[in-house]
Amino acid sequence: MSDQASTWLARYQPYRRRAEIGFWVLVLLIQMLTNSITTWIDLRTTPFAQPLVWELTSNLTVGLLIPFLIAFERRFPLSWDTLGRNLPWHMAGTLMFCGAHVLVMMALRKAAYAAAGTSYTTGPWASVFAYEYLKDVRSYVLILSALLGYRLLLLRAQGEARVLDAPEPASDTTPAPGPLLRPERFLVRKLRSEFLIAAADIEWLQAQGNYVGIHVNGHDYLLRSTLSDFLVQLDPARFVQVHRSFAVNLDRVAEIEPLDSGDARLRMKGGSQVPCSRRYRDALGS
């Protein structure tokens, strides 16, 4: 089962971005058509073009706001340990989401009506905002639910790593001061399996929201940590940060390709490529 998941994930990765965009396009397209038809049936005497324009402008605006909502959730992640701290931010986020939705949607409708030689009128803005807010809260929650569910699915297939707990000292002894203990292995949970990976086998790392992506022998695993916090636990003579979002194992760097911009591209021994920004170039020679 684990091998099947790895195969599926490897085949999916090249198409991942297109699949994610296609998913939201399909969802919004279906919602636009179904809502247009039901509104047209309810109004009966209204030409179908009017509810179609209403739903087109509304769903187009929501589609434009989805990337901002995803970025907002990365800045204020929702999980059991952050819920109390970040939930108020998302409550405020629903107001910002609705405000942007109403402003852009109304501007698009006025432009569409003007192009048809008519004018689009609305009721009092307070009433419009209150009406749209009730719907936008639902949209906000559904989008976040889909995002978190999708992320959990990938996490289960990709595998989640954690640092093995260090043994606790005996109660009658006091640990002697010494160098920082760094983990040599990490426990990875993937679907129903658990296995160990050696720190020395890590090729490169990438910051991914609330996680650090660990690339090991052609496989990617996620560790709940920030990149900077995780690097503290690794050997600084071997692992260095080369980009705001990337760090590499120097033993696994095969070639450094300078770029005209002053940045560089690192070709790893495993065949992958990692960006290196010029502010971190010196770390490669230290």
- Residues 186 and 269 both lie in one domain: yes
Is residue 174 in some structural domain? no
- Residues 93 and 186 both lie in one domain: no
For residue 240, the enclosing domain spans 182-284
The pLDDT value given to residue 166? 44
The pLDDT value given to residue 272? 86
For residue 137, give the nearest of 163, 101, 107 by alpha carbon: 101
Number of domains in the chain: 2
pLDDT band, residue 79 (cuts 50/70/90): confident
Report the percent of the chain where pLDDT is more than 90.
41
Is residue 173 in some structural domain? no
- Residues 126 and 60 both lie in one domain: yes
- Residues 31 and 108 both lie in one domain: yes
β-strand 253-258 against 246-249: which pairing, if any?
unpaired
Residue-wise pLDDT tens digits, 124-135: 889 999 999 999
Please give the model's pTM, rounded to 2 decimal places.
0.64
How many residues are there in the chain? 286
- Residues 112 and 253 both lie in one domain: no
- Residues 136 and 16 both lie in one domain: yes
Report the Cα–Cα distance between both ends of the chain, in Å, rounded: 43
In the predicted structure, residue 80 carries a pLDDT above the cut 80? no
Compute the Cα dihedral for 70, 151, 214, 274 and give only its sign.
negative
Instruction: Give dist(CA 93, CA 158) in Å, integer.
Output: 30
Instruction: Give dist(CA 265, CA 272) in Å, integer.
Output: 10
Residue-wise pLDDT tens digits, 198-211: 888 899 998 876 77
Count the Cβ atoms, other than its own, within 10 Å of residue 231. 17
- Residues 154 and 24 both lie in one domain: yes
